[in-house]
Amino acid sequence: MLTFVAGKAAGDGRLAACAPQISFGATRRLRITGVKRENFLRSRPDVGYNRPMLQTARPKKKSQPKAPVHEKYIEAFRWILLTRTFEEKLASMYRGGRITGGVYVGKGQEAVSVACGIFLQKGDIFAPLIRDQAGRSAFGEPLVDVARTYFGSRTGPMRGRDGNIHRGSPRDGQLAMISHLGAMVSVVVGSLMAKRGRGEKNFIGLTTIGEGGMQTGASHEGMNIAAVEHVPLVVVATNNHYAYSTPNDREFACANLVDRARGYGFEGYELDGTDLAQCLDVIGTAVKRARAGRPPQLVVASILRLAGHGEHDDFSYVTDDIRKEPFAIDCLQRADAFIKERELADAGTLQRWREEAAEEVENAFSAAQKEPVPTGEEEDWCAISTRDLVDAIE
Ligand SMILES: Cc1ncc(C[n+]2csc(CCOP(=O)(O)OP(=O)(O)O)c2C)c(N)n1
Ligand SMILES: [Mg+2]
């Protein structure tokens, strides 16, 4: 089994460093023996937070032509912009007491997420998690349906029965997430097996998971059965360095999560999730390979969660040192700088995109706010039945 490791993109945002610089060969392996467990990752210069990512990109010479920009770069950037604008508004409404229940945002994670949704086609299955608004939007979820879910509108996809993020649209291939971490992997595997059994062709499934969720028994079982059944699955794991307030060194002891790909029978890739170009290249490649019948694909992205676990969490446990790490760069700011540097859009166009995003967000919230919530007497509420959901599985 080959393991692919994408190199770390150059910090100056050059695409040359982000184009598919995928080196074929085994990832570096570390044998750690006789090391005191407590905080041992922090004390080692070559693992955990301190481990430099593999640098496979060659320094760009002045005479080299600039690599072409990924054809989906601008589209992806605009989904990120829309998501950030939407979630900032959502967070401010939560703080103003206008949202009931929790609010969870994907700040810093949008470049990875958008790349998860943007390559999927009709007939594919997407099982997103709580930080995947960018991917959900890129795969076709109307923003008004998100606003409807948060406001409990009976017109929304969950008919006002879900408070925030467990919404889905099975008919469109977007599954509603199960809260129990890791559970979605086997749900997607089962859905893919069902599609295969029905004789469908050319479909794939993509699910996302956090580095914390990767440590659950359910995720190990799901990954194993995916490889055993050789289903066309892509698992995109985002290591945002925390599960709630638990840091990496209390979550796992292996040197690198992508090394697990080989153990499961997956093909594995590692990427810098702050770099939109690299996210598009690496996740786009994984999607293509799954569709082409390769073994299941594992992509491990590195970023820092730039918000609390939810809006109730001030994430004061994230130290200043960690906030200065390269993986703490904001993917939106980095993409904005890249667009300016490459002159992909001028300042006026960027401003227009921001205004259009703000308008779309306003429209979604104002439409959803006017809609009625469910009323107990009128609703035929069934806790476990799906018969009254707007979007039943056909
Ligand atoms: C099996 C299980 N245990 C605990 C939880 C509670 N929980 C919800 S999110 C979360 C942290 C998840 O961390 P990670 O997987 O790294 O994703 P992130 O929130 O960082 O995106 C926890 C512990 C859960 N939902 N399921
Ligand atoms: Mg995490």
Q: Which two tokens stand for residue 158?
A: 């969950």
**Residues 112-126 pLDDT 10s:** 999 999 999 999 999
Binned at pLDDT 50, 70 and 90, residue 219 comes out as very high
Ligand nearest the Cα atom of residue 241 = 2
Pocket lining: 104 vs ligand 1, CB cutoff 6 Å = no
pLDDT tens readout for residues 323-358: 999 999 999 999 999 999 999 999 999 999 999 999
The pLDDT assigned to 187 comes to 97
Give residue 244 CA to ligand 1 midpoint distance, Å.
7
CB neighbour list of residue 69: distance below 8 Å, 6 or more residues apart: 15, 277, 342, 344
Q: Can you give the pLDDT at residue 376?
A: 73
Q: Which pLDDT belongs to residue 393?
A: 52
Phi first, then psi, for residue 203 (nearest 5°) are -105, 155
Write down the residue that tokens 């995003």 correspond to.
Answer: 357
Ordered strands of the 125-127 beta sheet: 125-127, 205-210, 233-239, 297-302, 267-272
pLDDT of the residue at 22: 35
Find the range with the poorest average confidence among 60-64, 141-145, 285-289: 60-64
Confidence of residue 26 (pLDDT cuts 50, 70, 90): very low
Give the percent of the chain with pLDDT over 70: 80
Ligand 1 pocket, residue 243 CB under 6 Å: yes
Question: Ligand 1, residues 180, 181, 302: which to mutate, most atoms within 8 A of Cβ?
Answer: 181
- Alpha carbon nearest to ligand 1 atom 24, residue: 180
Query: Reduced to 3 states, what is the DSSP secondary structure of residue 271?
Result: strand
**Dist. CA 331–CA 295, nearest whole Å:** 29
pLDDT at 18 over 70: no
User: pLDDT, tens digit, for every residue of 243-263?
Assistant: 999 999 999 999 999 999 999
Tokens of 159: 């008919």
Rounded CA-CA distance 365/150 in Å is: 9
Q: What is the pLDDT of residues 295-326, one digit of tens each?
A: 999 999 999 999 999 999 999 999 999 999 99
Find out whether the beta carbon of 14 lies less than 6 Å from any atom of ligand 1.
no
User: Who wins on pLDDT, 381 or 38?
Assistant: 381
What pLDDT is stored for residue 387 in this prediction?
Answer: 52
Amino acid identity at 198:
R
Positions of E strands within the chain: 4-6, 22-24, 125-127, 205-210, 233-239, 242-243, 246-247, 267-272, 297-302
Q: Looking at the predicted structure, is the pLDDT value of residue 24 above 60?
A: no
Q: What is the pLDDT of residue 375?
A: 84
Give the chain's domains with CATH numbers: 69-246+287-333 (3.40.50.970)
Question: Does 109 have pLDDT greater than 80?
Answer: yes
Task: Tell me what pLDDT residue 389 has.
Answer: 54
Atom of ligand 1 nearest to the CA of 129: 21
The per-residue pLDDT for 64 is 53
Distance from Cα 309 to the centre of ligand 2, integer Å = 9
pTM for the predicted model, two decimal places = 0.84
Q: Is 212 touching ligand 1 by the criterion CB < 6 Å?
A: yes
Would the CB of 211 count as within 6 Å of ligand 1? Answer: yes
* C-alpha of 93 from chain center: 24
Sequence-ordered list of residues with C-beta below 8 angstroms from that of 104, at least 6 positions apart, any chain: 130, 131, 164, 165, 309, 310, 311
| Pocket lining: 165 vs ligand 1, CB cutoff 6 Å | no
Ligand 1: does its nearest atom lie under 6 Å from the Cβ of 115? no
Please report which ligand is nearest the Cα atom of 165: 1
Q: Which residue has the higher pLDDT, 59 or 145?
A: 145
| CA-proximal residue: ligand 1, atom 20 (nearest) | 243
CA atoms within 13 A on the CB side of 128: 32
Q: Calculate the average pLDDT of the chain.
A: 84
Atom of ligand 1 nearest to the CA of 244: 11
Residue closest via CA to ligand 1's atom 25 equals: 180
